[in-house]
Amino acid sequence: MELLQLRYFLTVAKMLNITRAAEHHMIPQPAMSQTISRLEKELGTPLFDRHKNKLTLTRKGEEFLRSVSASVSELDSALESLHTKDGHLQGELTLLVLNHRDTMVDCIIDFRKQYADVSFRIFHARNDFEDYDLCVSCTPPDDTFYNKKCLLTENLQLLVAATHPLAAKGSVCFDELRDESFALLNKNNSLWEHTIHQCHLYGFEPRISMICEDLHCMIKYVSAGLAVSLGPVASWQGVKDDSVVFVPTVPEEVRSTYVFWDEQRPNSQLRQVFLDFMTVYFAGRT
């Protein structure tokens, strides 16, 4: 029995799909099937029930999964400890970054100036088959019970073209936006729900003229005077230019961003060092 076999088993047990597990580990599907079959033969018991190309764990498989998960996590922690000597940190962190993408890139750049041997895998959309060390988001990424720490609380203001009539106002209420067109980031972004909620609060359905996944493209659309948008002042300052301006809302609105981590996963020294670094980094932006 090899460690790689156990890692493959953990992935298959989580995904319950041989093909996806093979793609995750970038190996051919037959090789993954053979690995699992060989493991079952070595153990002398089936780990999965196979019905019409659907996998489910057997009772023995569930017991084996609990044991292997604990053992591999402990082994990974031990390996990390061996690789951490005299402040020399090594390893890889997997991050789910749903908010503050640019800020997180800057944070990682500064972090690697101190810890050049640490690598990162960054995702911007939830993938149920990935285990994330940390998630940066305004809301929990799923229903898992998470620990969290607030990284930043910032004002939300209306973003308009510098030539827009609202740009000259000292403040604006959502009730004044009934006849405006909105540009919004996609529905996976927390600002979508917040904007829709505020419009409904004032009794109107927002007229959405653009939905975009790229912040720079959305800001360019707003700068053309074709729409307005609601955005976080601190986060967007680095990507906007003089063609657009922020106008405060009345009442004032704020948004908090958190870092989440799964408390069921063993604590990692690498994760803790980066978490502490992030906290200080974001504090410097307030």
Cα dihedral sign, 46-47-49-54 = negative
Reported confidence tier of residue 267, pLDDT bands at 50, 70, 90: low
Summarize pLDDT for 58-112 with one digit per residue, the tens. Answer: 999 899 888 888 887 777 666 655 555 555 788 899 999 988 888 899 999 999 9
Q: What is the dihedral of CA 177, 258, 137, 108, to 10 degrees?
A: 120
pLDDT of residue 280: 92
Please confirm whether the linkage preceding 251 is cis (ω < 30° from 0): yes
pLDDT of residue 79: 60
Summarize pLDDT for 129-158 with one digit per residue, the tens. Answer: 667 899 999 888 777 767 899 999 999 999
Summarize pLDDT for 5-28 with one digit per residue, the tens. Answer: 888 888 888 888 888 888 878 888
CB–CB of 155/233 below 8 Å?
Answer: yes
Summarize pLDDT for 211-242 with one digit per residue, the tens. Answer: 998 889 999 999 999 999 999 998 888 788 99
Strand partners, 160: 245
Summarize pLDDT for 180-214 with one digit per residue, the tens. Answer: 999 999 887 788 988 999 999 999 999 999 999 88
- The whole-angstrom separation of Cα 19 and Cα 36 is 12
Pairing of strands 118-123, 91-97: parallel
Kindly state the DSSP code that residue 26 receives in the 8-state scheme. Answer: T
pLDDT of residue 94: 92
Contacts with 194 (C-beta within 8 Å, 6 or more apart), sequence order: 156, 230, 253, 255
Pairing of strands 91-97, 229-232: unpaired
Rg (alpha carbons) of the chain, rounded to whole number: 24
pLDDT of residue 235: 81
- The whole-angstrom separation of Cα 95 and Cα 115 is 17
- The whole-angstrom separation of Cα 260 and Cα 135 is 5
CB–CB of 225/159 below 8 Å?
Answer: no
Domains belonging to the chain, first-starting first, are 3-82 (1.10.10.10), 151-256 (3.40.190.290)
The yes-or-no verdict on residue 266 having pLDDT over 70 is: no
